[in-house]
Amino acid sequence: MHADEVDRKILACLVEDGRATYDDVGRQVSLSAPAVKRRIDRLRERGVLRGFTALVDPAALGATTEALIELFYAPGIGLGEVRDSLRPIPEIAEAWSVTGDADCIVRVRARDPQDLERIIMELQRESAVIRTRSQIIMSRLIEHRD
């Protein structure tokens, strides 16, 4: 789908403030509110704009420790099985299948280092997991919300 410069500006406005009104966005991109609505509807129909979401600060809810954990699985374990084993763990924010030594990397949020240790132990108890390797995230240098 082709998105012109105005569409890109509209998307940038919505990324900055997903609660902005059509009128607010229109003022920023020099369009009327109805024109902005038509463009947003078109972007949603074409799948460019997938939806709107609330961004929650995990630290404000007590999750002050964040880590990346590499998971190494036994041969023959499928992605569906990996996904199913990770879904019940609420502290997992994201999970990816990756190239390289690890089979999967998960990003977890924990209350503190002791809670992180509990999560790692829970992951290691999964029978298909051979081993894990972890890195605690010290600070976020760049964050894109796309």
Q: In this predicted structure, what is the pLDDT of residue 5?
A: 93
CATH class held by domain 58-137: alpha beta
Task: Indicate if the pLDDT at residue 65 is higher than 90.
Answer: yes
pLDDT range class, residue 57, cuts 50, 70, 90: confident
What does the alpha-carbon distance between residue 65 and residue 136 come to, in Å, rounded to a whole number? Answer: 7
Topology (CATH) of 5-45: Arc Repressor Mutant, subunit A (1.10.10)
Q: For the segment 127-138, what is each residue's pLDDT rounded down to a tens digit?
A: 899 999 999 999
User: Considering the chain, what is the average pLDDT of its residues?
Assistant: 93
- What are the sequence ranges of the domains in the chain? 5-45, 58-137
Task: Indicate if the pLDDT at residue 30 is higher than 70.
Answer: yes
Q: For the segment 2-20, what is each residue's pLDDT rounded down to a tens digit?
A: 789 999 999 999 988 889 9
Cα–Cα distance list, 56 to 17, 61, 63, 93 (Å): 14, 9, 11, 12
Distance from CA of residue 78 to its chain's centroid? 22
